[in-house]
Amino acid sequence: MSKKTRILPKHVALIPDGNRRWSRNHRLALLQGYNLGIKKFVDFSEWLRQFGVDTLSVWALSTENVINRNAAELKVLYDLYVKAANDPEIIARLIKNRARIRIIGNLSLLPEGVRKALKSLEARTRNYRDYTINMLVAYGGRDDITYALRRIAATKAHSPSRISEKLVSENLRSSSVPNVDMVIRTSGEERISGLLPWQAGYSELYFARKYWPDFQKKDLKRALDTFSKRRRRFGK
């Protein structure tokens, strides 16, 4: 009797939560926690690729983070994003994996230097097609849908009866992001907090108790094993 084929998600979305709490628990500066979190994400992206997943979306910074977090903490994050976007080792690993970076969000909320660094990274990887990493920066699910509705309304070319799911989808900030098969969130929090609401409606959800810096390849394998055992019905 043949072994049952293992089913894997094509698109995984990640909420890498728990950097601040990990830093406090280890009595380390916030910078160290976030820096380790970025390094862990690069590892995670490679693990996911090794398992056969071809699209990863990561929620790096929400619109709520930009609005509600203090300036000092945001500066730590912004400086790390600029550093990571220009890091030769990170760039080399992306190129080795033929990974294309897409930056998605309300980038007008970011300082100009951060925008330029992220868009530069996006440009340097634009010709790769083997693996796509969507970085959600200054992204919010409600903002995404509101943005789409405003764009549609601004054209004045669509009567209410002609507004379709396809039209809304085409006008999202995240219009290039495909449907999400699986959402992974770390730190024990069991919510998706507005992550890609249009694409994640039928996602399988997996909540890991570990803080993000402690998440390991074996934890990802456990999550993917869980996904392979679920039966996806899509309303049927």
The one catalytic residue in 17, 143, 144, 219 is 17
C-alpha distances in angstroms, 61 versus 14, 65, 155?
A: 12, 6, 30
The one catalytic residue in 19, 65, 134, 171 is 65
d(CA 131, CA 83): 22
Q: Name the 3-class secondary structure at 178.
A: coil
Q: Which helix (H) or strand (E) holds 31?
A: helix 30-51
Tell me whether residue 65 is one of the annotated catalytic residues: yes
Q: Which of 13, 225, 40, 218 is nearest to 132 (CA)?
A: 13
Q: Which residues contact 105 (CB under 8 A, 6 or more apart)?
A: 61, 63, 136, 137, 138, 139, 140, 173
Q: Which residues contact 234 (CB under 8 A, 6 or more apart)?
A: 202
Q: Which residues contact 127 (CB under 8 A, 6 or more apart)?
A: 100
Catalytically annotated residues: 17, 65
